[in-house]
Every structure is written in structure tokens, then in C-alpha cells.
Structure 1
């Protein structure tokens, strides 16, 4: 829900040029939410490999960063960085949508106004 909140008029990620795309072949940034399980490792690697260079990965939320409360479960491997390289980790449960905008700006090389 926090990721969806970034799409609302309050945060409006589309104004600075961020667009959601349905194909990884048209993406620059992969935002991963949630812990990585044994069943999601292979699809995650496939999606990551389909993104053209230069590609960036954001782990959005504590579950994506470390596995969160699910870490230690029988099928949970942990955070995204156990499977693919992560450029930015945004901790928090829930993670704040405004921090996602800051991370996207950081990846784009835009200086923060605050």
C-alpha cells in the first residue's frame, strides 16, 4: 500500500518523470517489496536479467531489506540482497512513500531540495 501511496497526487511520482511500466525490458529501476522466498528467487533473477543496463534495484521496506518479521521462516531466504545486488535500501514497516521519491532522485543524480 505504501508503494501505491507514492502514485497518489500527494506524492505524484509521475510529475518528475517516474512511470510504472509493465515490462522489465522497458524499466530502469526495480522496486522490490516483501521478503524473498524459495519460490520467488528464480522469477526475481529472470526479471532482473531482463532489465537493460544501467539498472538499479531498490529494496522498499524492512521485509525487502532483511526479510523482516518473516526472516527465519522455513521458506524465507531473507532480503533482496541475498539474490541480486541492491543499490538503495529503504527500511521501515511501512516504508514512507516520500523516502521512495528521495531514493529515486538519488539514483537519478538529482540533488535534494531539503
Structure 2
């Protein structure tokens, strides 16, 4: 018979957990991956990082390496060619990791639905934490979706 002993959480452990949650919410690093879209969503993601929309005011930093990223922003339907690469990028990200599906193609396959080279939507390959609909979604919608994801990470 296996018994799990639950250790009481010390005040220091609670402080450390709170500090980790605060850092995760206030300075998420994102990586962007296009799994086969038309680049409309990609242009809108990059527009969110310009001074006009300034996603960085929420502490979000675009990172080039999946080993340093907390959030994976994905666009487009998953193609047969990009499926393995998308999984590899996801597996390289440290835990806890979050996936945001952006655009109609990422949510349902969009206009590419049922094409011969399409695996399907992003949630058929990866666990998605947030969905941002639109074709392409406006930068304001992308910012709202990322901020909503960050707000959902706050401890209750």
C-alpha cells in the first residue's frame, strides 16, 4: 500500500511560490511559430511589439529560443511538414509552458481545412491554453488574449 505523505507547506515555500507566480505573470517570454499560415497573423503579432501597440508594457519579451520561452504563440494550421518541428519546440520549452493559438487557421484549420497537407488545428497537436480568433486578429485582440492568459495564471 502506497501512502503519500503530504508535507505542510512552510511560510518560506508559500513566499517562493508567490514569487514564482509573480515573475511568471509579470515577465513572460514568448516564442512565435508559424505552422503553415498565410503570414497575416504573423504580421499582426509583430505589430503588437511595435511602439504603437507595445505588448512589452506588460513585461512580454519576444524570445528566439524555445529553451527560454514560457508562452508559444502559434499561427496557422499544422501542416505535415511542421508537425514534428512544432512538437520539438514545445518539448524544448521549460515547464510550466503555455500555448496560444492565434487566428482562424490555428483554431480550426480555416481556409486550409481538409487540405491534403494539413494535420489540423493546433489543439489537435498541442494542449492550447488560450484561443484568439480572427482572420487575422487585430493586434488589440492578440494583446487582450495574452493578457487574459496571464491573468488566469494569478493564484486564487
Relative to the length of structure 2, the TM-score reads: 0.68
Distance in 1 (alpha carbons) for counterparts of 2:123 and 2:57: 30
Q: Deviations over 1:79-111 (max 9, x none)?
A: 10010110111111011111111122122227x
**What secondary structure sits across from 2:62 in the alignment?**
coil
Match of 2:21 in 1: none
Task: Give 5+ residue unaligned stretches, structure 2.
Answer: 1-42
Return structure 1 stretches of 4+ with deviation > 6 angstroms. none
- Which secondary structure state, in structure 1, belongs to the residue aligned with residue 61 of structure 2? coil
Match of 1:30 in 2: 72
Match of 2:44 in 1: 2
Mark the structure with the bigger radius of gyration: 2
**RMSD (CA atoms):** 1.1
Q: Mind listing any 5+ residue stretches in structure 1 that lack a counterpart?
A: none
Q: Could you tell me which residue of structure 1 aligns to residue 96 of structure 2?
A: 54
More helix by share: 2
What is aligned with 1:16?
58
Per-residue Cα deviation, 1:56-78 (whole angstroms, up to 9, x for no partner): 10001001111110111101111
Distance in 1 (CA, whole Å) between partners of 2:134 and 2:142 is 11
